[in-house]
Structure 1
Amino acid sequence: MIESEADARAWLQGSGVDAAGMERLDQLVAMLAEENERQNLVSRASLAQVWQRHIVDSAQLLDVSRETLPGGPWLDLGTGAGFPGLVIAALQPEREVALVDSRRLRTEWLMRAVDALKLARVHVVLARVEDLPSHTFSVISARAFAPLEKLLALSIRFSTPQTLWLLPKGAKARHELEELDKGWRHTFHVEQSLTDAQGGVLVGHVLGAPKL
């Protein structure tokens, strides 16, 4: 379990993040702290543990699955300040990543961050999920965006049975999975969060929706 900022940085370096990747993350952390004075991107208290609470909490999605992480485009829904999607892009700049949020100030910040970090394959999208054109992705993530049932109903059109879903759910992970309508065909299971002893990440594939 990662319990400090030093642990978080050590975990990243131990996971193979190179000097360029760490430089991008350092720049992101600095920009986040500066922008947080203008708009409430994250809670002020969490900035004292930004590497643990936001950076590694996002980066662990590259490592948490028991399956091979697919290549191809990544969709991050309700991305907010860019967690986890912007961190993923900073660590894998060759991957196409779509960061979707419905709040203009957030997306304006994301565009500035993407430009500063020179992440040419990141697309920032100002839209509600309901208004997005249908397009399938290899990976879908969402952190604190919507309850599992609602999230799947809104987003299944972006996935195929091969799409890997990575959903940080905190302490509610197991409960939301147990409450999911039995009509959903899926392979979800709960992985322990590396940054929160009570937290879990839902990992799996969606094979079909409940019949109407």
Structure 2
Amino acid sequence: MGSGRDLLQSGIEQLGLHATAAQIDTLLAFVTLIEKWNKAFNLTAICDRDEILRLHILDSLAVLPFITGNKIIDVGTGAGLPGIPLAIFMPEVQFTLLDSNSKKTRFVQQAVLELKLKNVEIVHGRVENLARKGEYDAVVSRAFASLIDIMDLTEYLLQSEGVLIAMKGQIPEQELKNISRSYLVKSIVVPGVEAERCVLRINKL
């Protein structure tokens, strides 16, 4: 089994992004940690290294062009996705990674330590209990619920000009009918992934 370096490098280029050798090394080290911890901590159902690279790492990086602001919270981060890949590419941005699963936050904490990421904070807890009103420029999430539910749960975390960036499968036409905020929705192509993917950027105001 190869390291996946060529697959990762090629996928990043296809996404229109640039990565340094150090960033590639850090992403591959992160994947190795996921593989190492996965059996004990049930981080992901995906075990094949190339599939982890495509469905988790490249999928996470596909949202990078939509991220703005200096303070971002990844709600429902799970194994640190998309937060850790984004933090590796955006070292000047401060990331909070939130999850209610203590096993997963323990893993993410260890990953942050081993990868020496200085711009990542891990919080174990539920989003509705996080006392950080208006603290973030953006909430990012690989959508864990309906858009309306995610908005209701996370909107208080955003400053007035803040945005919710939700990653979904196919464009949720029905859900969008219920949203009164201004929004942008864009289909994205993740290299090597046939399933439909889209990103929604919903303004708080």
TM-score range, shorter chain: 0.7 to 0.9
Q: CA deviation at 1:206?
A: 2.3
The separation in 2 between residues aligned to 1:49 and 1:183, in whole angstroms, is 33
2:73 partner SS: strand
* Number of residue pairs the alignment of both structures matches: 198
Classify the secondary structure of the residue corresponding to 1:185.
coil
Deviates more, 1:129-138 or 1:99-108: 129-138
Unaligned runs of 5+ in 1: none
Per the alignment, residue 36 of structure 2 pairs with: 34
* 8 Å Cα contact 1:136/1:158 also seen in 2: yes
Tell me which residue corresponds to 2:150: 151
SS in 1 for 2:62: helix
Moved more, 147-156 or 37-46: 37-46
Q: Does 1:110 find its partner at 2:108?
A: yes
Measure, in 2, the Cα distance between the counterparts of 1:150 and 1:62: 23
**Structure-to-structure mapping, 1:125-136, within 5 angstroms:** 125-133=123-131, 134-136=133-135
Query: 1:145-168, CA deviations, whole angstroms, 9 ceiling, x for partnerless residues?
Result: 211110001111122453233211
TM-score (norm 1): 0.83
Q: Which amino acid aligns with 1:25?
A: L
Residue 107 of structure 1 and its aligned partner are, at CA, apart by 0.6
Q: Which residue of 1 aligns with 2:55?
A: 53
Equivalent residue of 1:152, what SS? helix
1:40-189 maps to which residues of 2 (within 5 A)? 40-63=42-65, 65=66, 69-133=67-131, 134-160=133-159, 162-171=161-170, 174-175=171-172, 177-180=173-176, 182=178, 184-189=180-185
Structure 1 SS opposite 2:19? coil
Letter in 2 for 1:205: I
Cα distance 1:183–1:114, how it changes in 2: closer, same or farther (>3 A)?
A: closer
Q: TM-score, normalised by structure 2?
A: 0.86
User: Sequence identity, in percent?
Assistant: 26
Q: Which runs of 5 or more residues in structure 2 are unaligned? A: none
- Report the 3-state secondary structure (helix = DSSP H, G, I; strand = E; otherwise coil) of the residue aligned with 2:139: strand
Native 8 Å contact 2:73 2:138 kept in 1: yes
Residues in 2 aligned to 1:180 and 1:70: alpha-carbon distance in whole angstroms: 22
SS of equivalent residue, structure 2 residue 26: helix
The change in CA–CA distance for 1:27 and 1:179 in structure 2 (over 3 A counts) is same
Give the residue type in structure 2 aligned to 1:83: L
> Which deviates further from its counterpart, 97-106 or 8-17?
8-17
Indicate the residue corresponding to 1:192 in structure 2.
188
Q: CA deviation at 1:52?
A: 0.7
